A = this chain, B = another copy of it.
């Protein structure tokens, strides 16, 4: 995937991704997108028709791409707990390639899908569906403890999305000496999240039929960092 697309529509989409991520749908300016893509504004309308159509085209593309990569993991041959580890890593990799993704995703969640049509919503839904499939499989075959797929989805993905989307504001806070929130680099964050999720979803090793069942994590072999 070329960093600098030479075809106008692709270049427009690439620039629009940055603009919509930085400013949101309402805050994005068609003029600015056109200028940053080095095309005329009339050219942009020639290719996409409207600001809304451009937005939808962009989100369909990015959500389909993300969902596709997660779906590939979901349908692969591996134990569910391994798939979960890989899904978190894959998501981090996807965001490393598409730095604008977290902000757009967060904004669209807050927006309630207001600017999206059915096709785009369907593409968006592909992400949680892929994760849900993995979890359901693991729960069914008892390689994961009984977690609700929706709860699992948010437990795995919300942290990495918000952590990466929040990089600018953490920098801002650090620059203004309002607390050091920048000391944890992304790759270490991903490792910590993978371990937390592993522990959170693991099948309890021993069952203690006490009044209040307390589930202890097992897998002590994973403890060495």
Contacts and interface: CB of A to CB of B under 8 A. Distances in A.
A207 B19 CA distance: 49
Given A103-B110, A200-B200, A217-B205, A158 B148 contact: no
- How many copies of this chain does one complex carry? 2
Interface of A: 21-27, 102-104, 106-113, 118, 121-122, 124-125, 128-129, 147-148, 150-151, 154-155, 157-163, 165-166, 168-169, 172-173, 176, 178-179, 181, 183-184, 188-189, 192-193, 195-197, 199-202, 204-205, 207, 212, 214-220, 223
A148 B188 contact: yes
B223 A219 contact: no
Contacts of A205: 216-218, 220
Given A150-B183, A200-B196, A215-B199, A24 B26 contact: yes
Contacts of A125: 173, 178-179, 181
A190 B137 CA distance: 23
Which applies to chain A's interface (DSSP): helix, strand, loop or mixed?
helix
Given A147-B192, A158-B163, A193-B151, A24 B21 contact: no
Given A25-B27, A223-B204, A108 B179 contact: no
Contacts of A217: 199, 202, 204-205
B202 A212 contact: no
Contacts of A104: 110
A215 to B, nearest CB: 6
Given A113-B169, A113-B172, A205-B216, 6 more contacts: A24-B107, A107-B110, A109-B162, A121-B169, A124-B169, A150-B189
A184 B148 contact: yes
10 contacts: A26-B26, A104-B110, A118-B176, A128-B181, A147-B192, A148-B192, A151-B193, A154-B160, A155-B159, A158-B158
